[in-house]
C-alpha cells in the first residue's frame, strides 16, 4: 500500500504538510527530503509516515530523498516540543536544527578500503594492492602506494574486494583520550563529581552550586569523562552563554581530553558548521562546546548536557524563535534520557527553587579551590566620595587602582555599557539624539566616531550641528560607557597597559581568545570591560575589581532587576583574587543601603535569595507562578489600538490565569512600528502554552500587524 509522509518545512508555517511517498522510496521518519512547495522544491524533514487509506485527495509526491543525515527521533521530538512550548510554528525550531545541514559542505573525496572479500582471480598486482590497503585512501593514492595502474584498483572495486566511499576530507573529529586524568580533586570536589557521575545513565537534573573559582568546571569535566568512558558512543554537550567563554572552555576541554571538541556558535564558519552538524549526527563528534543553539544539534546518543553559568540571561533567545536554552536543555535531557547539569555561582531563582523542592539534585562547593579566598567587597558611597566633575572613578577606587598597579597586579573596571556615552543631547535645545522611528537613545562610539542604536543597529556619523535646532558644537555626551572609562584610566595611569573588552572592540572568537590570553598572561594592567569579560574567566594576577556603576542594573526595575544585578556583580567581583592572591572589589553606588548592595558586601547570597523569594511568592511571580508576554506591533497606531482591544476581548477566561494590558510597551516605537504589550500571569499548574495557543487561535492577525508570544519572558521592554 502507498504511504503518506508528513513533512515539516523549516519555515514559519503552521504545521507539517502531507506528501505521497513515491513507490520504493522507503522513507523513514527523520529523513531529509526535497518536496514541492508552490513552484519550488524545498528541503524538509519527514516527521511521520502512515498508510494512505482510500479516497484521499491527490497529494504531490516527495521529489527526492536527500543524501544528508537523518535527524534522530529525539531531535525531531525536541523540535516539536519546543514549538508547542513557545507557541510558535514548528518550522522555526526546525530551521535552527537544520542550520548546519544547509551550510555549504567541504568538498567530499573518494576513498577505498578493503572489504575482506578475496579476489576471484588473484594476481601479483592485485596482491600488492591488498597489501597496501591498510587504511581508507583515495583510489589513485592506493594505486601509487601499491605501484600498480589505476585499472587494477578499479577492477577490485568492481569485484567488491575494495569498497568505494565518499568522505569529506576533514570530517573526522579527534577521539577523546579517556586515559588522561584531570587534576586531583579536593574532597568536596570529588564528592560532587562522584554524585554527578552516579546520576549519569538516565535523565535527572543536578544543580552544581559553587562559588566562583570553586572548581565547578573541573567537576563537570570529570562527569563528562565518566559519561564518555561508560559508553563508546556517548556524546556530551556543554553550553555557555558567551562566545568568549566558549573559547576558554574549549581550551580546557582540549587540554583535558587531548581532543578538540566540536565548536558551535554564530561565529563558526559555515563549512565547519556543516562538519560539526554531520559529526554530531554521525556520532563521531562526541563533545560539543557551544552557545544556546547547539541544543538543537542532531545528537545520536546524548548522555550529558552541562549548562554553565545557567543563570545567565544570554541563554534566552529574544527574537525569531523565542526560547530559553536552560529550560529547553532540561527538556532535551528528558527526551534523550540524558543527565543535565546546571552550574553557577549565582543560580537563578528558578533553579534554586527546583533544588529546594527536591526536583533537582543540589550539589554545593562552598569554598574556592586551594588557598584562594573570595575577595573583600567594599561599597563606595558616591554621595560621600564623588568623582571629580566629568569623571567617573571615585578617589577611593583611583587610590586602590594605584596600589594594585604598584604591586604589579591587575585591575578590572566593570561597566556594563558599550560605547563612549549612552546619551547625546543638545545643550542649546535639549534635544536627545534618538534613532529614526525608534524610542531608543543613540549611543556615542568614539572609536568609530558614530552614533549607534544598540537596538536596531542603525548608525550615523556624529553630526557637527544639532539636527533639531541647528546649533553648532552643541552636542554633549552624557554619562559613561567603557570607552570613556578607558579614556579616564589612560589619563590617570598614562604608563599602564590598558585594554577594552566589549562586543564592539572584540569582534570574533579569535580576538576574544587572544584578549583573554593576554589578560591571563598578565600583559594587561587595566581591563575595562562589559559583561563580555566579567564572567567565568580566571585571571591569576587580577586582584582588584572596580564596579563603575553598581546601580545601573537596578534602574528600570523589571521583575529580575535585583536578581540580575546581584548575579552580575557577584560574578564580576568574583574575578578578583584567584590563585592565592588576596582580592578586593569596590562597588561605586548611590544606594549603599539597597538590599542588593548589602548582600554583596556581606557576601550573603542566601539572605538575598530568601528575601527575593519571599517577595516573588507573595506576588505569585516566577518561580512561584509563570508569566507570558504578548507583543503586538504595527505601523499604524489606530489600527494597532483597535487590534489589541479586540485581542483583550477574546482572551480566554481560565481559572488561575490573569491577563494584564494592553499597555504601551516601554519601547513604544521600533523601526517605525508601534508596540503594545500584554502580560499574562498564571499559577504553576496551568498549561500556559496551551492557554496562549488557544488565545492566539481566536485572533485574526491582519495586514502588517504582528503578534509575538514570549513564554517565560526575561525582557519587559
Q: Which residues bind ligand ADP (CB under 6 A)?
A: 183-186, 189, 210, 212-218, 369, 538
Q: Are 203 and 333 within 8 A, CB to CB?
A: yes
Q: Is 430 exposed, middle or buried (0-12, 13-18, 19+ CB in 10 A)?
A: exposed
3-state secondary structure at position 25: coil
| Residue (275 or 513) nearer to ligand ADP, CB | 513
| Residue (82 or 224) nearer to ligand ADP, CB | 224
| Residue (189 or 416) nearer to ligand ADP, CB | 189
Instruction: Quote the least distance from Cβ 579 to ligand ADP, whole Å.
Output: 7
**CA distance linking residue 363 with residue 219, whole number of Å:** 11
| Sequence-ordered list of residues with C-beta below 8 angstroms from that of 147, at least 6 positions apart, any chain | 128
| Residue (91 or 215) nearer to ligand ADP, CB | 215
Instruction: Quote the least distance from Cβ 538 to ligand ADP, whole Å.
Output: 4
658, β-bridge pairs: 681
Neighbours of 133 (CB within 10 A): 20
Q: What is the dihedral of CA 497, 503, 507, 511, to 10 degrees?
A: 40
| Sequence-ordered list of residues with C-beta below 8 angstroms from that of 370, at least 6 positions apart, any chain | 579, 580
Report the candidate in 457, 481, 455, 506 with the shortest Cα–Cα distance to residue 318. 455
| Residue (209 or 712) nearer to ligand ADP, CB | 209
Instruction: Quote the least distance from Cβ 338 to ligand ADP, whole Å.
Output: 21
| Residue (92 or 206) nearer to ligand ADP, CB | 206
**CA distance linking residue 594 with residue 590, whole number of Å:** 9
**CA distance linking residue 289 with residue 309, whole number of Å:** 13
Output phi, psi for 462, to 5 deg: -65, 120
- Spell 36-66 as b/e; 16+ CB within 10 A means b: ebeeeeebbbbbeeeeeeeeeeeeebbeebe
| Residue (184 or 606) nearer to ligand ADP, CB | 184
Instruction: Quote the least distance from Cβ 231 to ligand ADP, whole Å.
Output: 25
**CA distance linking residue 609 with residue 400, whole number of Å:** 30
| Residue (79 or 237) nearer to ligand ADP, CB | 237
Element (H, E) at 585: strand 584-589
Instruction: Quote the least distance from Cβ 409 to ligand ADP, whole Å.
Output: 17
**CA distance linking residue 6 with residue 604, whole number of Å:** 55
Q: Is 409 exposed, middle or buried (0-12, 13-18, 19+ CB in 10 A)?
A: buried
Question: What order do you get walking across the sheet with 64-65 strand by strand?
Answer: 17-20, 3-8, 40-51, 32-37, 64-65
DSSP 447: T
Instruction: Quote the least distance from Cβ 302 to ligand ADP, whole Å.
Output: 22
| Residue (115 or 538) nearer to ligand ADP, CB | 538
Instruction: Quote the least distance from Cβ 293 to ligand ADP, whole Å.
Output: 23
| Residue (217 or 246) nearer to ligand ADP, CB | 217
**CA distance linking residue 205 with residue 400, whole number of Å:** 42
Instruction: Quote the least distance from Cβ 186 to ligand ADP, whole Å.
Output: 5
| Residue (185 or 331) nearer to ligand ADP, CB | 185
C-alpha cell at 451: 552614533
Instruction: Quote the least distance from Cβ 144 to ligand ADP, whole Å.
Output: 48
| Residue (100 or 574) nearer to ligand ADP, CB | 574
DSSP conformation letters of 127-151:
HHHHHH-SS-B-HHHHHHHHT--HH
| Residue (151 or 183) nearer to ligand ADP, CB | 183
Amino acid at each position: 500500500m502507498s504511504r503518506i509522509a508528513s513533512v515539516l518545512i523549516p519555515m514559519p508555517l503552521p504545521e507539517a504538510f502531507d506528501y505521497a511517498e513515491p513507490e520504493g522510496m522507503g522513507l523513514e521518519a527523520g529523513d531529509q527530503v526535497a518536496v514541492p512547495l508552490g513552484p519550488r522544491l524545498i528541503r524538509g524533514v519527514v516527521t511521520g509516515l502512515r498508510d494512505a487509506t482510500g479516497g484521499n485527495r491527490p497529494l504531490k509526491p516527495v521529489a527526492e530523498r536527500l543524501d544528508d543525515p537523518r535527524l534522530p527521533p529525539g531531535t525531531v521530538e525536541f523540535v516539536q516540543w519546543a514549538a508547542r512550548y513557545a507557541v510558535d510554528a514548528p518550522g522555526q525550531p526546525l530551521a535552527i536544527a537544520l542550520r548546519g545541514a544547509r551550510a555549504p559542505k567541504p568538498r567530499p573525496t573518494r576513498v577505498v578500503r578493503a572489504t575482506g572479500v578475496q579476489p576471484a582471480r588473484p594476481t601479483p598486482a592485485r596482491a600488492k594492492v591488498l597489501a597496501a590497503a591498510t587504511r581508507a585512501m583515495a583510489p589513485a593514492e592506493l594505486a601509487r602506494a601499491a605501484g600498480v595502474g589505476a585499472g587494477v584498483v578499479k577492477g577490485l572495486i568492481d569485484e567488491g574486494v575494495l569498497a568505494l566511499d565518499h568522505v569529506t576530507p576533514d570530517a573526522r573529529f579527534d577521539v577523546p583520550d579517556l586515559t588522561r586524568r584531570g587534576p586531583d580533586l579536593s574532597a568536596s570536589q570529588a564528592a560532587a563529581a562522584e554524585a554527578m557521575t552516579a546520576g549519569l545513565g538516565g535523565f535527572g537534573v543536578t544543580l552544581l552550586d559553587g562559588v566562583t573559582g570553586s572548581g565547578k568546571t573541573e567537576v563537570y569535566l570529570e562527569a563528562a569523562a565518566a559519561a564518555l568512558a561508560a559508553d563508546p558512543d556517548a556524546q556530551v554537550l556543554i553550553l555557555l552563554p558567551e562566545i568568549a567563554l566558549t573559547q576558554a572552555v574549549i581550551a580546557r576541554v582540549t587540554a583535558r581530553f587531548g581532543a578538540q571538541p566540536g565548536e558551535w556558535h554564530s561565529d563558526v564558519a559555515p563549512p565547519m558548521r556543516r562538519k560539526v552538524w554531520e559529526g554530531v549526527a554521525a556520532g563521531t563528534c562526541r563533545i560539543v562546546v557551544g552557545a544556546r543553539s547547539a541544543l538543537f544539534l542532531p545528537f545520536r546518543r546524548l548522555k550529558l548536557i552541562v549548562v554553565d553559568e545557567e543563570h545567565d540571561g544570554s541563554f534566552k533567545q529574544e527574537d525569531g524563535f523565542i526560547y530559553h536554552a536552560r529550560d529547553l536543555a532540561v527538556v532535551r535531557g528528558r527526551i534523550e534520557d540524558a543527565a543535565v547539569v546546571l552550574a553557577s555561582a549565582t543560580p537563578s531563582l528558578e533553579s534554586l527553587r527546583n533544588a529546594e523542592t527536591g526536583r533537582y539534585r543540589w550539589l554545593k562547593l562552598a569554598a574556592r579551590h586551594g588557598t584562594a579566598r573570595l575577595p573583600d567587597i567594599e561599597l563606595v558611597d558616591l554621595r560621600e566620595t564623588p568623582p571629580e566633575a566629568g569623571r567617573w572613578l571615585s578617589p577611593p577606587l583611583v587610590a586602590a587602582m594605584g596600589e594594585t598597579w604598584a604591586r604589579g597586579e591587575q585591575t578590572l573596571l566593570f561597566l556594563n555599557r558599550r560605547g563612549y556615552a549612552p546619551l547625546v543631547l543638545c545643550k542649546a535645545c535639549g534635544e536627545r539624539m534618538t534613532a529614526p522611528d525608534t524610542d531608543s537613545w543613540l549611543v556615542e562610539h568614539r572609536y568609530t566616531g558614530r552614533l549607534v542604536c544598540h537596538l536596531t543597529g542603525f548608525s550615523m556619523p556624529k553630526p557637527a550641528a544639532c539636527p533639531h535646532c541647528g546649533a553648532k558644537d552643541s552636542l554633549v555626551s552624557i554619562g559613561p560607557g567603557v570607552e570613556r572609562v578607558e579614556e579616564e584610566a589612560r589619563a590617570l595611569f598614562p604608563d599602564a597597559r590598558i585594554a577594552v573588552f566589549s562586543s564592539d572592540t572584540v569582534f570574533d572568537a579569535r580576538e576574544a581568545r587572544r584578549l583573554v590570553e593576554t589578560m591571563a598572561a598578565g600583559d594587561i594592567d587595566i581591563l575595562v570591560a562589559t559583561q563580555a569579560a566579567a564572567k567565568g574567566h580566571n585571571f591569576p594576577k587580577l586582584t582588584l575589581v572596580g564596579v563603575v556603576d553598581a546601580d545601573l542594573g537596578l534602574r528600570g526595575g523589571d521583575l529580575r532587576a535585583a536578581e540580575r544585578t546581584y548575579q552580575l556583580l557577584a560574578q564580576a567581583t568574583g574575578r578578583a583574587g584567584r590563585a592565592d592572591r588576596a582580592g578586593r572589589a569596590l562597588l561605586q553606588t548611590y544606594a549603599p543601603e539597597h538590599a542588593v548592595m548589602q548582600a554583596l558586601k556581606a557576601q550573603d547570597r542566601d539572605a538575598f535569595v530568601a528575601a527575593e523569594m519571599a517577595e516573588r511568592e507573595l506576588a505569585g511571580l516566577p518561580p512561584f507562578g509563570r508569566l507570558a508576554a504578548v507583543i503586538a506591533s504595527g505601523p499604524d497606531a489606530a489600527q494597532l489600538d483597535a487590534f489589541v482591544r479586540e485581542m483583550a476581548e477574546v482572551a480566554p477566561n481560565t481559572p488561575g490565569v490573569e491577563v494584564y494590558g494592553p499597555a504601551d510597551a516601554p519601547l513604544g516605537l521600533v523601526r517605525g512600528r508601534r508596540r503594545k504589550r500584554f502580560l499574562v500571569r498564571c499559577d504553576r499548574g496551568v498549561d500556559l502554552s496551551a492557554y496562549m495557543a488557544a488565545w492566539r487561535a481566536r485572533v485574526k492577525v491582519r495586514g502588517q500587524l504582528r503578534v509575538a508570544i514570549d513564554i517565560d519572558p526575561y525582557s519587559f521592554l
